Amino acid sequence: MDRSTVVAATVASLRQEAETVVDLVVDRIVEEIPSYAAVPRERLRPGVAASVHDGIGFLLDGGFPGGTSLAAAVDAAAVGADRAERGIPVEDLLHAYRIGVRTVWERFATAARRNDADPGEVLALAERVWEWADGVMVRAAREHRRVDLEAALDAQQRRGAFIRALLSGTLDRAGLHLQSAAFGLDPDREYVPFRARGGRDVRAVVKALVPYFPHTTPPVTLIDGDVAGLLARRPVGRARGDLVVGIGPAVRLAEAAGAFERATRALDTASRFSMNGVYDLADLGLHAAVVAESEVGEFLHERYLAPLKGLPDIERTVVTYLEGGMHVEDTARSLFVHPNTLRNRLRRFEELTGADLRDHRTLAELWWALAHQRLNR
């Protein structure tokens, strides 16, 4: 026999023991890759058998154009999808394929040496076999990643729907306990509902809050463009750039809706006053009331500020006086005027509005009027 006939005869003998090779490959995969231990052998064997038979066929034909056959590509796609659905990492999937190729090639190479096959011919065939294997593995990995991505997106959508329902208060108690467990949340533990925004980059908002999430899969969703969800604790330290976060009190999941409403009010208030950072309603004090009670603000604006229309020096003097702690000398220096000029302007304000700047109630109402004006300019 010439050299090519020797190789062909060697492959033919390998085909006769293909089922034995399949069992050997299955055994090696289960022994070497822990994640495959959960795959039933009857589920694992068909994919291995298809690949082994196709690989032996490739050897028998001496390598064919295109790197892989259509049957091998279809089987590889099905195997890749199945392994992804079973939670087997793509690295383990590729490891299993390499075990199969290595086992088949070891059997062939051993027999080829025994039959005194031409080493050059065997080496050339080895190169084509690994090209074939690469094509099969690429197809399997691509399908694995597709199924993986679809599963991740589906899980993300389901998690987002759960968080939205939780924060809106539309979950019943049974649904809350069942779904919270599915998403790694403890219904008896306290969480901090939040709502945050920071420019247009949603991912940057989530990244800034990562240290405060209860686990590695953030329980967050998008609500009207804002990032919303649950934190394990209140964020500390200074917030980055334009990030503003409204938080509610720490509560159990059953009370999350009410706490989230407070977080939303805190975010809205802080945003309207251009205040960056982390705030709850207690931090914002009367600012939240100014936002919520627009009618009161309008009334106070008419009472204290409308009479100053066309008199910017008087309004600026009053604002500076209040912001400076109502110290005449310090305020006069800030405005570059004589203290008597300052007193005259303050007296003029009292005459125009009927206000008494020594009355604490007047000071509170004037602050409210100024805050309302700031929001509505």
One domain for residues 120 and 23? yes
One domain for residues 20 and 108? yes
Residue 230, strand partner residues = 193
| CATH (domain of 46) | 1.10.490
One domain for residues 367 and 259? no
One domain for residues 37 and 134? yes
The answer to whether residue 177 sits within a structural domain is no
Domain's final residue, options 285, 311, 346: 285
10-residue mean pLDDT series, the chain (377 residues)? 70 86 93 89 87 80 50 71 88 93 88 85 83 87 87 80 92 85 89 89 87 88 92 82 91 95 95 92 92 91 90 91 89 92 93 90 91 85
One domain for residues 235 and 368? no
The answer to whether residue 249 sits within a structural domain is yes
The answer to whether residue 237 sits within a structural domain is yes
Please say whether the beta carbons of 247 and 234 come within 8 A.
yes
Amino acid at 336: F
- Note the pLDDT of residue 182: 83
Number of domains the chain contains: 3
Q: Distance between CA atoms of 113 and 123, rounded to whole angstroms?
A: 12
Joined tokens for residue 85 = 């659905």
Please say whether the beta carbons of 361 and 300 come within 8 A.
no
- Note the pLDDT of residue 2: 47
Name the 3-class secondary structure at 227: strand
The answer to whether residue 183 sits within a structural domain is no
Domain's final residue, options 264, 285, 306: 285
Q: Write out the residue range of the structural domain in which residue 276 sits.
A: 188-285
One domain for residues 30 and 60? yes
The answer to whether residue 201 sits within a structural domain is yes
Domain's final residue, options 285, 313, 333: 285
Percent of the chain at pLDDT exceeding 70: 94
Q: Distance between CA atoms of 212 and 254, rounded to whole angstroms?
A: 20
Q: Distance between CA atoms of 238 and 218, rounded to whole angstroms?
A: 21
End-to-end CA distance of the chain: 98
One domain for residues 198 and 281? yes
The answer to whether residue 182 sits within a structural domain is no
Q: Distance between CA atoms of 254 and 257, rounded to whole angstroms?
A: 8
Tens-place pLDDT, residues 48-57: 888 888 888 8
- Note the pLDDT of residue 67: 46
One domain for residues 142 and 204? no
One domain for residues 63 and 195? no
Q: Distance between CA atoms of 98 and 75, rounded to whole angstroms?
A: 16
- Pairing state of beta strands 220-223 and 277-279? unpaired
One domain for residues 18 and 144? yes
Joined tokens for residue 309 = 């229309």
Joined tokens for residue 34 = 């822990």
One domain for residues 112 and 214? no
The answer to whether residue 356 sits within a structural domain is yes
Q: Distance between CA atoms of 303 and 204, rounded to whole angstroms?
A: 44
Residue in 173, 174, 159 with CA at minimum distance from that of residue 214: 159
The beta strands (E) that lie in the chain are given as 190-197, 220-223, 226-231, 244-247, 251-252, 277-279
DSSP alpha helix (H) spans, 195-255: 202-209
The pTM of the full predicted model, rounded to 2 decimals, is 0.61
- Note the pLDDT of residue 277: 92
The answer to whether residue 247 sits within a structural domain is yes
One domain for residues 108 and 237? no
